[in-house]
């Protein structure tokens, strides 16, 4: 419960045109007492509160001006997340009260854990780091209640690993990262952790290499998604800009000039580029992009190679191969992208 009694005493006193000394005389107290009430240094006794309410012709509630917090579960969780965003360290005490009140609520426990996780990471205060780990562990036991698809046992385990790392407990951090590496989400961190603390370099390379290839694959999918979005929005400028960035990026990842699976991805982006260029009135450039796409497609389809070691920094290995969600041949992709395009572009196939 929060009150505004200090502000209200001052406001009602001024309404009556009284000085602090004059109000003190009415109540039979010292001027210093009134000063302390208005400066929030002390609170008047209940009897004096009732006398002032009577004197000012208001109710005790109005004089107190109390504001009851909404302590329902949802409102409590919202306040905790807001405190995390605003870096309100004073909210840690409220977090503890909320956890005692709702000890079996994932939303409350995890929001409290996130407060300690955020504040502990910023201040490096060991008690806060330890409390974050404790609450994150409790959150894992309650995670079946979680409705946020971005949060699961693995992500919580990763947060715990960060706290252990900050405490200098590197072995525990590495153990947690490996145990919670579902979908290889912590490959990069595991590789870094191994190298930072004298771990096996070959093992670190395995994790980094796999993470590298997954990142490239994810980037390609995201750019395809953006290309589809820009096309649907008729945002040809953004489409051209992104294609002109991703194509040289992928070309720069090729280990040799031999056709590899990256060329098949480049074919897709040249096809998108041609469409964006054509729709922008840049027909000559669009024709050149289609010619480039078809040339790369024919070279790749003549000797398809999905070996991941065609990518720079990836070691030679017969076990590692790439795959994509596109057609069987690269030329199939060019045809698919141009099936609804202007005949001038389709006639180039």
Three-state secondary structure call for residue 254: strand
For residue 185, is it left (φ>0), alpha (ψ between -120 and 50) or beta? alpha
d(CA 145, CA 319): 39
What does the pLDDT read at residue 70?
52
What does the pLDDT read at residue 315?
86
73-202: same fold as 5-64? no
What does the pLDDT read at residue 176?
95
d(CA 152, CA 110): 11
CA 104 to chain centre: 25
- CATH class given for the domain over 5-64: mainly alpha
What residue has token string 């993470």? 211
Residue ranges per structural domain of the chain:
5-64, 73-202, 206-346
E strands, the chain, are none
d(CA 156, CA 135): 10
Can you give the pTM of this predicted structure? 0.69
Three-state secondary structure call for residue 183: helix
The closest alpha carbon to 111, from 123, 120, 98, belongs to: 98
d(CA 249, CA 25): 81
Tell me the C-alpha to C-alpha distance, in Å, between residue 126 and each of 91, 155, 278, 346.
18, 21, 60, 65
168-171-173-174 Cα dihedral, nearest 10 degrees: 140
What does the pLDDT read at residue 76?
86
**Element containing residue 111 per DSSP (H, E):** helix 106-123
Note the CATH number of domain 206-346. Answer: 1.25.40
Q: Where are the alpha helices (DSSP H) in 124-254?
A: 126-141, 153-166, 170-179, 187-196, 201-232, 236-252
pLDDT in tens, the chain (349 residues): 456 889 999 999 999 899 999 999 999 999 999 999 999 899 999 999 999 999 998 888 888 875 545 557 788 889 898 988 888 888 899 899 999 989 999 999 999 999 999 999 999 999 999 999 999 999 999 999 999 999 999 999 999 999 999 999 999 999 999 999 998 999 999 999 999 988 899 999 999 999 999 999 999 999 999 999 999 999 999 999 999 999 999 999 999 989 988 998 999 999 999 999 999 999 899 989 988 998 998 998 888 888 888 899 998 765 555 555 555 666 777 777 666 666 666 665 5
As its CATH architecture, domain 73-202 has Alpha Horseshoe (1.25)
What does the pLDDT read at residue 65?
74
Considering only the C-alpha atoms of the chain, give the largest distance between any 2 of them, rounded to a whole number of Å: 102
């Amino acid at each position: 419960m929060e009150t505004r009694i200090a502000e209200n005493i001052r406001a009602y006193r001024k309404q009556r045109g009284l000085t602090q000394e004059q109000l003190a005389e009415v109540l039979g107290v010292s001027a210093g007492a009134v000063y302390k009430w208005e400066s929030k240094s002390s609170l008047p006794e209940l009897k004096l509160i009732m006398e002032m309410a009577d004197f000012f012709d208001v109710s005790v509630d109005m004089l107190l001006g109390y504001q009851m917090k909404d302590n329902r579960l949802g409102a409590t969780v919202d306040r905790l997340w807001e405190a995390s965003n605003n870096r309100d360290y004073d909210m840690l005490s409220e977090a503890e009260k909320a956890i005692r009140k709702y000890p079996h609520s994932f939303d409350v426990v995890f929001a409290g854990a996130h407060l300690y996780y955020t504040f502990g990471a910023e201040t490096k205060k060991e008690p806060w780091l330890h409390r974050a780990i404790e609450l994150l562990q409790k959150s894992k036991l309650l995670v079946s209640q979680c409705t946020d698809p971005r949060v699961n046992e693995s992500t919580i385990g990763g947060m715990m690993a960060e706290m252990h790392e900050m405490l200098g407990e590197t072995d525990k951090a590495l153990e947690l990262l490996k145990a919670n590496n579902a979908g290889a989400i912590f490959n990069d961190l595991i590789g870094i952790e191994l190298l930072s603390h004298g771990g096996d370099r070959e093992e670190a390379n395995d994790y980094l290499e796999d993470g590298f290839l997954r990142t490239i694959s994810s980037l390609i999918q995201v750019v395809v998604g953006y290309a589809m979005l820009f096309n649907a929005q008729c945002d040809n400028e953004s489409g051209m800009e992104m294609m002109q960035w991703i194509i040289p990026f992928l070309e720069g990842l090729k280990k040799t000039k031999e056709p590899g699976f990256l060329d098949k991805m480049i074919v897709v982006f040249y096809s998108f580029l041609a469409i964006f260029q054509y729709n922008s009135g840049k027909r000559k450039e669009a024709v050149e992009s289609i010619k480039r796409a078809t040339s790369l497609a024919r070279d790749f389809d003549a000797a398809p190679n999905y070996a991941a070691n065609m990518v720079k920094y990836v070691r030679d290995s017969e076990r590692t191969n790439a795959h994509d969600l596109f057609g069987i041949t690269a030329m199939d992709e060019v045809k698919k992208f141009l099936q609804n395009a202007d005949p001038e572009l389709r006639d180039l196939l």
